[in-house]
Amino acid sequence: PPTAPKSPQEHPNAPKTLLIAMGQPLGWPGAESNGGPAEGGTPPGQRHRRPPHTKHKGQGSGGVHRSPRALFCLRLNNPIRRAAISIVEWKPFDILILATIFANCVALGVYIPFPEDDSNAANHNLEQVEYVFLIIFTVETFLKIIAYGLVLHPSAYIRNGWNLLDFVIVIVGLFSVILEQVSHKPGEAHHMSGKPGGFDVKALRAFRVLRPLRLVSGVPSLHIVLNSIMKAMVPLLHIALLVLFVIIIYAIIGLELFIGRMHKTCFFIGSDLESEDDPSPCAFSGHGRACLQNNTECRGRWEGPNGGITNFDNFFFAMLTVFQCITMEGWTDVLYWMQDAMGHELPWIYFVSLVIFGSFFVLNLVLGVLSGEFSKEREKAKARGDFQKLREKQQLEEDLRGYMDWITQAEDLEGDEDEHEKHPSLPGSETTSVNTETAGEEEAQPNACDRCLRRLRRMNRVLRRRCRGAVKSVSFYWTVLLLVFLNTLTIASEHHGQPPWLTETQAYANKALLSLFAAEMVLKLYALGPSCYFASFFNRFDCFVVCGGVLETALVERGAMEPLGISVLRCVRLLRVFKVTRWGAGDTRGGLGTTRGCWGHRGGGGRDTRRLGGARLESLEEPPKNKVAPIPEGSAFFLLGSTNPLRVRCHALIHHHIFTNLILVFIILSSVSLAAEDPVRAHSPRNHILGYFDYAFTSIFTVEILLKMTAFGAFLHKGSFCRNWFNLLDLLVVGVSLVSFGIHSSAISVVKILRVLRVLRPLRAINRAKGLKHVVQCVFVAIRTIGNIMIVTTLLQFMFACIGVQLFKGKFYSCTDEAKHTPGECKGTFLVYKDGDVSHPSVRERLWHNSDFNFDNVLAGMMALFTVSTFEGWPAAPPQHYEQSKPFNYVMDLLNMVFTGLFTVEMLLKIIAFKPRHYFCDAWNTFDALIVVGSVVDIAVTEVNVSHPHLFFTGSEDSSRISITFFRLFRVMRLVKLLSKGEGIRTLLWTFVKSFQALPYVALLIAMIFFIYAVIGMQTFGKVALQDGTQINRNNNFQTFPQAVLLLFRCATGEAWQEIMLASLPGKRCDPESDAGPGEEFTCGSNFAIVYFISFFMLCAFLVSPTALPHGALWCDTPQPYSKNRTLRHETP
Spatial contact of 651 and 711, defined as CB atoms under 8 Å apart = yes
Q: Is 116 annotated as a binding residue?
A: no
CB atoms within 10 A of CB 30: 12
CB atoms within 10 A of CB 670: 23
Helix (H) or strand (E) holding 497: none
Angle at 321 between CA 316 and CA 324, to 5 degrees: 130
187 SS3 class: coil
615 SS3 class: strand
Q: Nearest CA to 835 among 305, 301, 265, 277?
A: 277
Q: How many helices, marked H, and strands, marked E, lie in the chain?
A: 42, 12
Give the burial string for 1047-1073 (b: 16+ CB within 10 Å, else e). bbbbbbbbbbbbbbbbbbbeebbbbee
Distance from C-alpha of 809 to C-alpha of 855, rounded to nearest angstrom:
5
Q: Nearest CA to 373 among 1112, 1104, 1122, 992?
A: 1112
Burial class (CB in 10 A: 0-12, 13-18, 19+), 846: middle
Q: Nearest CA to 1034 among 1042, 1025, 303?
A: 1025
Residues forming beta bridges with residue 267, ordered by sequence position: 274, 297
Q: Is 442 annotated as a binding residue?
A: no
Gyration radius from the chain CA atoms: 41
DSSP symbols for 753-777? HHHHGGGGGGGGGGGG-HHHHHHHH
Give the burial string for 111-127 (b: 16+ CB within 10 Å, else e). eeeeeeeeeeeeeeebe
DSSP symbols for 900-926? HHHHHHHHHHHHHHHHHHHHTTSHHHH
Helix (H) or strand (E) holding 456: helix 448-471
CB atoms within 10 A of CB 679: 23
Q: Report the greatest alpha carbon distance in the chain.
A: 133
Q: How far lies 742's CA from each of 734, 735, 737, 746, 751, in Å?
A: 13, 11, 9, 11, 10
Task: Cite the annotated binding site for Ca(2+) by residue number.
Answer: 329, 872
Task: Cite the annotated binding site by residue number.
Answer: 329, 872
